[in-house]
Structure 1
Amino acid sequence: EEDWTEPQRVPLFEGFSTLNGEGPSEPGSAVGRQLSEPGRFAFAALCSVSLGQLFQGAEHRCFREQYLQGLVQWLGLDESVLPVMGAFLAGLGSEGSDTFHSVLQGEQLLRPVATPIVQDLVSFSLKDGQYDARARFLVRHVACLFRVPPQYLEEYEETLGERLRGQETEETEEELSRQRRKERGRKLRRYLLIGLATIGGGTVIGVTGGLAAPLVAAGAGAVLGAGGAAALGSAAGIAIMASLFGAAGAGLAGYKMNKRVGAIEQFEFLPLSSGKHLHVTVAVTGWLCSGKYSSFQAPWSSLGPCGEQYCLVWESRFLRALGSAVDSLLDGLVSMVAQEALKYTVLSGIVTALTWPASLLAVASVIDNPWGVCLSRSAEVGKHLAQVLRSRQQGKRPVSLIGFSLGARVIYFCLQELANEKGCEGIVEDVVLLGAPVDGSSKQWEKLSQVVAGRIVNGYCRGDWLLGFLYRSSSAQLSVAGLHPISLNDRRMINVDLTQFPPDLCAHKCVLCYLFNNLKKKPMCSHPGYVYWFIWWYETD
């Protein structure tokens, strides 16, 4: 175990984007420019090396180069350093990463904790009114290198997001006027940006737009810098800022199919959390049981308040029919157990058998049809989800996807659809699949991984007899992701063996609680954003 030490907490937005209490000499000046010249060079070089290591494919080339060029300009470095940075980007000189890290640790501005440069990197990544998933993963990577706790990043993004959206606070008009006059030196809190109102889920600029523009620019300028604030003060700039949150339309919360699309009857999003954030999580339920787990939201109570969260509501009529069929199947198994024809303890082992017990096959007709229907519909729903994300209904923010069983299958086909289209990189940040009834061959996942910026977590269970039974006609020839690890040599792929769990219907809900709660064995993992911590845990090990 690493010795995790809680760094000294420093207040958010003290001195605008610096957190050490020493505000910048100019309102909204970038923290990175306050570093020494060697520090700025080391910062750009470390990001260059990291970009080259994290996003190596040709599909990321344009992003890598544009991000690097923009960062060099943001830090006030001379353009003559670009060839050197390009070499770092190409993988040359990566052995110097430790040196760059040491130089930055020696900067007075970054003591006792390097939170300011992590926040500066967030500010830079947002300057064009979009937050690319690859940019956010780079931010997380740099934060990890400097041992900046992830809740610091979460808090900063939350506060920054609310400021950009113009959330209401208890501040008086007199206090706001004083802040506008001084433009620095005091802790900025959330306040209402006059003229920016949310109507029916979408943001519009009303009759007070003339007053709104300078106020919007003032609010964003403290973080994005004077140049960025000037750009955002224009009509085009306000539109760009609105697009970050999907405000041109109604966003995910307002998205609902008005008419049937192909074979899909139902497709909409329900919020799991309140407020707006700079990143979004979409959870996809795999089936609907009776009782406690009869709703789409119920399985996701363990996610905790981390980011902006939604659950996908899809084809409830068929998912309930599947849940009812599984109940009937289990009732039949209970009868068999009572007759000692098939003991429950044996079920976890029969998934590897060459033949299935005749008594189990006798009740197969109860579930085969609804399962087949849901398999087909989940694929169509996944393709439609890809269209929604590609059209930026969520705004230009990174999206993380988590699902179990057929919900994981929805995500799989979503990634497949995105991978088949050009320019879909930078949308999806992380993916968590539990018990996925999909192809687990590495060949299939090589292409899919290209559209995931962060991590792909495959939770599999070798003893999942139900998944093995439902896939009995093809599992002998097909490597099922939910039953086996995915053998993909890629830094994105994380396989987690869940075989220790009992093979019951609610296993994947139990797994969620177990995985996320057991992360607390690491001292830093007590934050309620469990999915975020889960992936962070693997990055720090």
Structure 2
Amino acid sequence: MAAFFNKITGGSSGRGDDHPEKSKEQSLTTILSTHEDRTELLLLVTNCMGLMRRQILDIFDPDKNQESWTRPLSASSAIGHDAGQHGPNKPDRPHVEQTEEQRKKAYDRRVTELSSAKMTEMSNAALAHFDSWSDKVVQRLGEVVNQHQDDTSQAAAERPQEQGQSQKVTKELEDAESDHALRQLYPPQATPLLNLPQEQRVLILHSLLLLLLSLETYTAESRVLLLRITSSLSLPMRLLAEDESHVAEGLLESAKQQMNADEETKKHAEDNAHSRKWKVGLGAAAGAVLIGVTGGLAAPLLAAGVGSIMGGIGLGATATAGYLGALAGSAPLVGALFGAYGGRMTGRAIDEYAREVDDFAFVPLHKHHFQKPKEIMHSKSTKENARHLRVAIGISGYLTDESEVVKPWQVIGTSIEGFALRWEVKALLKLGNALTAYIRSYAWGWAKKEVISRTIFAAFFSALSMPYGITKIAKVVDNPWSVATARSEKAGRVLAQALIDKVQGERPVTLLGYSLGARLIYSCLDELANRKAFGLIESVVIAGAAAPADAVLWRRLRAVVSGRLINVYSSNDYLLGFLYRTSSLQYGVAGLQAIEDVPGIENVDASDLIDGHTQYRLMIGRILGKVGLEDIDASEEEEQMKELQIVQKKDEEEREKSEQEEKLQET
């Protein structure tokens, strides 16, 4: 750690942050006026980075076998309320004691598995990526905090006059539940910076955001680092999201103001963007949202312009522009950050996948996408018409109506750029209709009773031990399930390729999915792991996942997720067990049980709320809210719960009707 810290304090690079005018405005120099303050900031950042690196090491450490954890999902179990009882290393379920021989065998197995060439290569690649990113952060931060003493002294003398520029935390940004969740997930690191006034701590966080953006990419690691800093500075979680929104708005507004390319050049760029659309509909999904960037031919942004626009956040214009570096003066870089140049797939991806994936596209959850560049240039920025520094992609796993591609994910709020992934709609509709018909049938009611009556749930999965009556009706859902499962795996690989190709820009992505949508995410993470593609995924939530619970597989997948990886399951999901019965069950099913022995995985037991696989699509809001995920719209969550009650009532009525018809036929 000492060597790591010395790397930061190695001196100033003269990158433009020593501008004499900067001492007259609010900046890190005025906030951290003493050498001790600057040292404490550097220590805080390096400590947080050390924890992040330790997390990677733990994934591949055979001694770390009990750090995945489980908690129930019930009315009172939001992470903000019960994380102290059900936090890491404190499983909700009683721990089954192993004998010394069993523990030794399990340890020897982990040693063998984690020492394989594949796992060693994965570990080395993950650490190399992290170290490369942290070195860049260290160098950039060191450039800023190591100022000439004369500038520091002058800035300190003028600091009292500048306090009025600082941003204060308003009450609407404070949320007891989400803030408690933040501190449970990322425990605060001890720092004397807590003694600084809140306004100064806000500006420290804001400055770090700009400095990370100056690396010309906003990686998942950068976002997780800021969450840890937010926790340690005792600031609200929503403050960071609000700050990200203001910065995104400032970058885009400044870009629009500075664009002066002629109409012919703009039209040429639009034509090029249109021609890049690939044949399965993904293409320039983000390219259609061009902020007016004209392929590098536009006039560069003026640093003072972007600085002035965002100066109201608290820092002065010169400091803002200086911290952003080249990003403050380049429209193409701003465009690339938000995905303006990522809207194309490689030829290899088209040839390999497009023949097998007939339907694949990002569908925006809000209004800001698919406007023409000219419309973006002249549109007013609102919460529903805004770009953001983060992306969320919701993935449905079966459909009873085409609108359900988007509908479950409307709970995603406007503080993040939300998309629904449209994939293989015809196959998912066939599956959804088959599932609905099946669960409403008398046959499933009888089959479910048979399952519940068995003392060993695993016996249910054996096709050979299934009663003839159940296997006879299985063909109703088996074929559409098999078809959709195979296509989810291919679509997952296409999604991974899209993220690698930066279709969504240089921004961290959160993936959310249920049923086969969760299986698609599993396939996507597996492909990212195979490709050693780190820094793309911030967080993942899978619910009712039709995927194996193999610990070795999930250790690899965990390595490509920088933030949270949450597995929501229900042991009462008999339909998933029935559908999955012909698959390999050696390692279990993630949607039916906890993924054990994987450091950093959060297992959420939803058995008290989920007693049927088809409920997931109408429980997404409740699930995401209870696991403490950011950016959830509470009003949409309530609408989902109302619809769930209606659907459950209809299912019961149809089941009773089917039972009556069956009895009439028997008589």
Distance 1:204 1:113, change over 3 A: closer
Letter in 1 for 2:326: A
Q: Classify 1:513/1:264 alpha carbon distance in 2 versus 1 (closer, same or farther; 3 Å).
A: same
Q: Paired residues, what number? A: 451
Q: Is the 8 A contact 1:161 1:278 kept in 2?
A: yes
The counterpart of 1:432, out of the listed 541, 566, 577, is 541
**1:514 offset after TM fit, Å?**
2.4
In 2: Cα distance, 1:529 partner to 1:67 partner: 33
Alpha-carbon shift at residue 474 of structure 1 (Å)? 3.4
Is 1:346 matched up with 2:439? no
**CA shift for structure 1 position 501:** 2.2
Quick one: which of 210, 235, 240 aligns to 2:333?
240
Q: Distance in 2 between matches of 1:135 and 1:41?
A: 20
- What SS class does the counterpart of residue 420 from structure 2 fall into? strand
1:430/1:452 contact within 8 Å kept: yes
Aligned match of 1:304: 413
Task: Specify every segment of 5 or more residues in structure 2 that has no aligned partner in the other structure, as ranges.
Answer: 1-20, 57-126, 149-185, 271-287, 312-316, 369-385, 638-667
Instruction: Classify the secondary structure of the residue corresponding to 2:393.
Output: strand
Distance 1:374 1:42, change over 3 A: same
TM-score computed with the length of structure 2 as normaliser: 0.61
Query: Structure 2 CA distance, aligned partners of 1:277 and 1:247?
Result: 13
Aligned to 1:36: 34
Alpha-carbon deviations, 1:88-127, whole Å to 9, x = none? Answer: xxxxxxxxx99973421123xx436732222221111101
- Structure 2 CA distance for partners of 1:26 and 1:452, relative to 1, 3 Å: farther
Structure 1 residue 375, shift from structure 2 partner: 1.1
Equivalent residues in 2 for 1:222-301 (5 A)? 222=317, 225-228=320-323, 231-232=326-327, 237-250=330-343, 261-273=354-366, 274=368, 275-290=386-401, 294-301=403-410
Query: 2: distance between equivalents of 1:98 and 1:431?
Result: 20
Q: Deviations over 1:339-378 (max 9, x none)?
A: x676499389884444434322221011111111111110
Q: CA contact under 8 A between 1:43 and 1:100: conserved in structure 2?
A: no
Distance in 2 (CA, whole Å) between partners of 1:324 and 1:99 is 48
C-alpha deviation, 1:331, in angstroms: 3.6
**1:369 aligned residue:** 479
Within the alignment, does 1:328 sit opposite 2:401 as a pair?
no
| Contact 1:386 1:417 survives alignment (8 Å) | yes
Amino acid at match of 2:514: F
Identify if the C-alpha distance between structure 1 residues 442 and 99 changes in structure 2 by more than 3 Å, giving closer, same or farther: closer
Which of 99, 103, 120 is residue 192 of structure 2 equivalent to? Answer: 103
Report the CA distance shift for 1:388/1:135 in structure 2 as closer, same or farther (over 3 A).
Answer: same
**Aligned counterpart in structure 2 of residue 504 of structure 1, from 597, 612, 622:** 612
Letter in 1 for 2:614: C
Quickly say closer, same or farther: Cα 1:312–1:205, change in 2 above 3 A: closer
Contact 2:525 2:557 in 1 (8 A): yes
Output the TM-score relative to the length of structure 1: 0.74
Name 1:88's counterpart in structure 2.
none
Aligned: 1:67 with 2:137? yes
> Is the 8 Å Cα contact of residues 304 and 321 (structure 2) preserved in structure 1?
no
1:486-536 residue CA offsets vs partner (Å, 9 max, x unmatched): 113423x1110011124234321343232345579xxxx997457xx9xxx
**Separation in 1 of the partners of 2:198 and 2:419?**
38
3-state SS of paired residue (1:469): helix
SS at match of 1:418: helix
Letter in 2 for 1:461: S
The within-5 A match list for 1:356-395 is 356-395=466-505
Q: Could you tell me which residue of structure 2 aligns to residue 82 of structure 1?
A: none
Is the CA contact 1:202–1:249 (under 8 Å) kept in the aligned structure 2?
Answer: no
RMSD: 3.6
Q: Does the C-alpha gap of structure 1 residues 31 and 443 become closer, same or farther in structure 2, counting only changes over 3 Å? A: farther
Identity across aligned pairs (percent)? 28
* Distance apart, 1:135 and its partner CA: 0.7
Structure-2 separation of matches of 1:98 and 1:316: 42
Letter in 1 for 2:41: F
**Cα gap change, 1:214 to 1:138, in 2 (>3 Å):** closer
Structure 2 residue matching 1:439: 3-state secondary structure: coil
Tell me which of 37, 42, 45 is aligned to 2:43.
45
**Letter of the aligned partner of 1:164 in structure 2?**
L
For the structure 1 residues 230 and 395, does the alpha-carbon distance in structure 2 shift closer, same or farther, using more than 3 Å as the test? closer
Q: Of 49, 53, 56, which aligns to 1:55?
A: 53
Aligned to 1:429, the other structure's residue is in SS state strand
Structure-2 separation of matches of 1:159 and 1:344? 57
Q: CA offset at residue 446 of structure 1? A: 1.0
Partner of 1:161: 248
Structure 2 residue matching 1:507: 3-state secondary structure: helix
Q: Unaligned 5+ residue runs, structure 1?
A: 1-22, 79-96, 169-190, 534-541
Q: 1:64 to 1:528 in 2, by over 3 A?
A: same
The CA distance in 2 between the partners of 1:468 and 1:448, in whole Å, is 23
**Which one-letter code corresponds to 2:332 in the other structure?**
A
Structure 1 residue 272, shift from structure 2 partner: 0.7
Distance 1:412 1:260, change over 3 A: closer
The answer on whether the counterparts of 1:27 and 1:226 sit within 8 Å (CA) in structure 2 is: no
What is the DSSP-based 3-state SS (H/G/I as helix, E as strand, rest coil) of the residue aligned with 1:283?
Answer: strand
Which residue type is aligned with residue 296 of structure 1? Answer: V
Q: Is the 8 A contact 1:267 1:313 kept in 2?
A: yes
Cα distance in 2 for residues equivalent to 1:288 and 1:455: 27
The alpha-carbon deviation at position 215 of structure 1 amounts to 6.3
Other structure's SS at 2:190 match: helix
Structure 1, 260-269 or 445-454: larger mean CA deviation: 260-269
Q: Relative contact order (C-alpha < 8 Å, sep 6+): which is higher?
A: 2
What does 1:107-186 align with in structure 2 at a 5 Å threshold? 107=196, 110-111=197-198, 114-166=201-253
**C-alpha separation between the residues in 1 aligned to 2:132 and 2:27?**
27
Assess if the C-alpha contact under 8 Å between 1:242 and 1:248 holds in 2: yes
Matched residue type, 1:165: L
TM-fit CA distance, 1:148: 1.3
